[in-house]
Amino acid sequence: MTADRQPTTDISGRTVLLTAALGTMLAPLNSTMIVVALPEILNDFGHSLAWGSWIVISYLVAMAAVQPLGGSLGDRYGRRRMLLVGFTTFLAATVVAALAPSVEVLLVARTIQALSGAMAIPNGTALVRSLIPRERQGRAFGSIGSAIAVAAAAGPPLGGVITDAFGWRWIFAANVLLLIPALFLASRLPAERGNREGSFDLRGALLMTGGLVTLALALTSWRLDGIPVWSAAAFGLLAVSAGFLLRRHVASIPKPILNLGLFQRPGFLPASLIVLLSNLTMYTTLLALPVFLTEREGWRSSQVGLLLTALSVQMIVFSPLGGRLSDRHGRQFPAVMGMSLMALGSLPLLALGDGWMWWMFLPPLIVVGIGTGLSSAAVQTAAIEAASTSESGQAAGLFSTMRYLGSILGSALMAAILVGDVPSEDAFRLLFGLLVVTALLSVFAASQLPGRSRSPETTQALEVGTPAQRPTS
């Protein structure tokens, strides 16, 4: 089967949906489980908290920076092949991480895990685009969104239980439970030829990956112990320089590693902005509330975790509903509805103060969770269907990178505002005020999505491609 054909049976559709769901669950599961186990890991190796920060940040940076490259490689060499390479390498890195004799080895293994996931995840998404009929893609991405929410919600309690019962090394066994069936299912998918016309754009790949790595480091490195604050400006300058050179480079060759013309397609730019802004809002809320509740209110970690499930459960339930709505009414309707609910749910947190009862936190979290669930499938589907099937891997990778950049921006914003051992009420209110602004901006971006799915004629034009899809210098 070539990259441009639709499936002839439902077998490959069900298989690719399960494969993509298992693959995407790896990222949130590994991001959240490791946080709970960090104190025991650092105690075992006798290292400071700074090493714990590097273990977390190196994973985020690698995952954010390499996904566009992973998707582009899938477009060129075949998505099934890149899925199998990514899953196999992730499995090997998982074994190394579990047996790591030092924190340095663990850091390298975690980074390889992220690189492997970055190769697999966008190609799973691209296969959903090419193997599942258009009229069911919203529901498919809604199901994947539910799987991501399950992994994110299960990560902290699962990591805590496993660490307490068996030790931190056993948290990596959860990866094996996902990777073995993912490998089996991926091996059953139809092989794709890919598009190997022209030589591989090595220079573009280096510029793109280098630019994203330095951008992520500019947003994170200044928060690490022993790293001077001016390093953020230096990394930012490198990122801007790489971006400028990449822009000129892709306009000068016929087959670049990344088609920046994607941002000119109807739906792709708004969808990318929505996922960046909404993830910034949601992720920062999930980080800031535990700080407030533990540092100012004296809540136990178990109480905080139980409260935050009010957000995760809504995402699990409402993601499939949002996908069905997007298939029936178009991508714009559930996206605007979801982002509006996120903004509405964020508003009460402007009045956050000492003495709030536990039930006062529930309405904002429930409404934000419903909004996130309703919008996620519609936004992702709008971004992926803006690209032709032959370039859907790079579109999926770029979209996912925008999601991670939202999380990184949110954590940087929180670190800049919530200063001191016990941040003030005013600092929390300022932070949530800015999050309301980002949520409102996401509502505007959602209103710019196409109202209905593209017609078959428009899709066919994308498959053929036109010069107007390429940026000019």
374 falls within a domain: yes
Number of structural domains (the chain) is 3
Q: Which domain holds residue 310?
A: 258-473
448 falls within a domain: yes
Predicted confidence (pLDDT) per residue in 263-316, tens digit: 999 999 999 999 999 999 998 998 888 888 888 888 877 788 788 888 888 999
* pLDDT band at 238; cut points 50, 70, 90: very high
Regarding whether 262 and 210 lie in a shared domain, the answer is no
18 falls within a domain: yes
Of residues 208 and 464, which shows the higher confidence score? 208
pLDDT at 334: 96
194 falls within a domain: no
User: Residue 62 pLDDT > 70, yes or no?
Assistant: yes
Q: Which of 163, 189, 215 is the last residue of a domain?
A: 189
195 falls within a domain: no
Regarding whether 411 and 349 lie in a shared domain, the answer is yes
322 falls within a domain: yes
Residue 173 sits in a domain of what CATH number? 1.20.1250.20
pLDDT at 10: 52
Regarding whether 222 and 320 lie in a shared domain, the answer is no
Regarding whether 457 and 351 lie in a shared domain, the answer is yes
User: Residue 467 pLDDT > 70, yes or no?
Assistant: no
Average pLDDT over residues 393-411: 90
Q: Which of 139, 159, 189 is the last residue of a domain?
A: 189
Q: Which of 143, 159, 189 is the last residue of a domain?
A: 189
Regarding whether 249 and 266 lie in a shared domain, the answer is no
Give the separation between CA 324 and CA 389, rounded to whole angstroms: 22
Regarding whether 389 and 446 lie in a shared domain, the answer is yes
Regarding whether 300 and 222 lie in a shared domain, the answer is no
306 falls within a domain: yes
Regarding whether 358 and 432 lie in a shared domain, the answer is yes
434 falls within a domain: yes
Regarding whether 231 and 156 lie in a shared domain, the answer is no
Regarding whether 239 and 295 lie in a shared domain, the answer is no
pLDDT at 155: 81
Regarding whether 131 and 6 lie in a shared domain, the answer is yes
User: Residue 111 pLDDT > 70, yes or no?
Assistant: yes
Regarding whether 250 and 374 lie in a shared domain, the answer is no
Of residues 34 and 23, which shows the higher confidence score? 23
